[in-house]
Amino acid sequence: MGRKYFGTDGIRGKVGQFPVTPEFVQKLGWACGRVLAGDGGGKVLIGKDTRISGYMFESALEAGLSAAGVDVCLLGPMPTPAIAYLTRTFNADAGIVISASHNPYYDNGIKFFSSAGTKLPDEVEEAIEAMLDADFEVVAPDALGKASRLVDAPGRYIEFCKASAKTRLNLQGMKIAVDAAHGAAYHVGPAVFEELGADVVVMGNKPDGLNINRNVGSTHMERLQQLVQDEKADLGIAFDGDADRVLMVDGQGEIVDGDQLLFVMADARQRAGELKGGVVGTLMSNLGLEQALQERDIPFVRAKVGDRYVNELLLKHDWYLGGESSGHLICRDVASTGDGIVAALQVLKAIVESGKSLRELVQGMTMCPQVMINVQAPKSVVNTEVVLQAVSETERKLGDAGRVLLRSSGTEPVVRVMIEGRDADQVNTLTRELADVVASAAS
């Protein structure tokens, strides 16, 4: 069945433009209630990030769910993974997050978690879409859903994060700079590290509804890099707007991306005898990650781009660690979804237990130069003979020291030409040459 509204991570768009309108979101809440709770009953948790439109969509969802006879528990501004955790622990029928993640304030979106704290199965999303075509019918007045607010949601989630390290993590003597992106982790993120004993310097913790992700967070690392150096911090931690992503900065102000953080976690777990199976990355994961894991006899497989696909492969192999270069990192043994704070604590645990700095731990992995060029071209061009021959020739030139990836955009007629290898000059040259072949074949 084709999707009209749901993408790989819920529904997202510009506020006020269909489907990100209060009318549609109210109907979406009603459809969700009807599908997940049938003729009434049940409970759904709603959380949001800090963008101004969250108030409007929170009210719209509450009205729609109540009309379907479903009780609502409002969590207020909370990280996306916190909603997943609380949905599971409260035995709720579903959790709903109002967020557009790393996007600007004028975007927003709706994403769902199942009662197990995982992304909804495709068939449930399809059932919700089908219900959206039904007539809006309100249950009897005595069957309307009630609304309440969970006032201690932040405290519950902070304790969960602190416990996720599994051993008592002592961060005393460590100075950490934290960038909360003026987003959902503005209050809970710094508190977790402070309560574990760290000296925390905070930025991006003054949301005003309009400044979420604006020149801060994991998509704008420059100010955090400078803060780490100015404060002589041991490291910096950057979240995105809904705190399901994390990137770091080492003590010298260098960015440490999701692939490098995944390596640090896998390597630490292997040394401690706690690594179960292997690691899941994506088609975009740096070749250096794959090579570093191979050197340590750690299995590695690639999923399609998107944290839901990473999680699917983790479940298939019954492994624990996976993630994306962007900082979506999943520690499946402690959290049901990608969690920026939990992943950061896993890296801090590796630092404390090894006695090494983040910079020293990252040196166990050599990043390969990676170049990507976007070419205006239809998806079909990837399978033309001239392009396939060019790809084969490029792979021959790279040998075992590199890889080629042609990936079509899911939202526009663009083919992404990506090449990795050990020689930066060769990678640059080969990427330009292959991109030219793709462009020529499309013309």
Same domain flag for 316 and 172: yes
Using a pLDDT cut of 70, give the percent of the chain over it: 98
Same domain flag for 338 and 191: yes
Residue-level pLDDT at 39: 62
Is the pLDDT at 41 greater than 50? The verdict is: yes
Domain CATH code at residue 187: 3.40.120.10
Residue-level pLDDT at 412: 80
Domain's final residue, options 151, 184, 199: 151
pTM: 0.93
Same domain flag for 381 and 263: no
Work out the pLDDT band at 36, boundaries 50, 70, 90.
confident
Same domain flag for 171 and 194: yes
Is the pLDDT at 320 greater than 90? The verdict is: yes
- Span 384-401, mean pLDDT? 95
Residue 212 domain-assigned? yes
pLDDT digits (tens, 9 = 90+) for 172-204: 999 999 999 999 999 999 999 999 999 999 999
Same domain flag for 110 and 220: no
Domain's final residue, options 109, 126, 151: 151
Residue 1 domain-assigned? no
Residue 5 domain-assigned? no
Is the pLDDT at 1 greater than 50? The verdict is: no
Residue 339 domain-assigned? yes
Domain's final residue, options 108, 126, 151: 151
Classify residue 76 as left (phi > 0), alpha (psi -120 to 50) or beta. left
Residues 6+ apart with CB under 8 A from 218: 102, 179, 181, 238, 239, 240, 245, 246, 247, 326, 327
Residue-level pLDDT at 8: 74
Q: Which residue has the tokens 């199965």?
A: 121
Active-site residue list: 101
Same domain flag for 114 and 27: yes
Residue-level pLDDT at 296: 97
Same domain flag for 30 and 132: yes
Residue-level pLDDT at 37: 74
Cα gap 256→247, rounded to integer Å: 6
Same domain flag for 143 and 172: no
Same domain flag for 178 and 119: no
Domain CATH code at residue 392: 3.30.310.50
- Span 225-241, mean pLDDT? 98
Same domain flag for 395 and 432: yes
Quote the mean pLDDT of the chain. Answer: 95
Residue-level pLDDT at 411: 66
Residue 6 domain-assigned? no
Is the pLDDT at 129 greater than 50? The verdict is: yes
Domain count along the chain:
3
Give pairs for 388-393: CB < 8 Å, separation 24+: 390/433, 390/434, 390/437, 390/438, 391/434
Residue 25, token pair as written in the block: 């979101």
Same domain flag for 315 and 374: no
Residue-level pLDDT at 33: 94
Residue 126 domain-assigned? yes
* 23-27, 105-109, 304-308: segment of lowest average pLDDT: 304-308
Residue 388, token pair as written in the block: 């396939």
Residue-level pLDDT at 168: 87
CB atoms within 10 A of CB 136: 13
Same domain flag for 140 and 242: no
Q: Which domain holds residue 78?
A: 11-151
- Span 418-439, mean pLDDT? 96
Residue 2 domain-assigned? no
Cα gap 111→171, rounded to integer Å: 34
pLDDT digits (tens, 9 = 90+) for 67-121: 999 999 999 999 999 999 999 999 999 999 999 999 999 999 999 999 999 988 8
Residue 96 domain-assigned? yes
Residue 292, token pair as written in the block: 């570093």
Is the pLDDT at 325 greater than 90? The verdict is: yes
Residue-level pLDDT at 166: 82
Cα gap 331→338, rounded to integer Å: 7
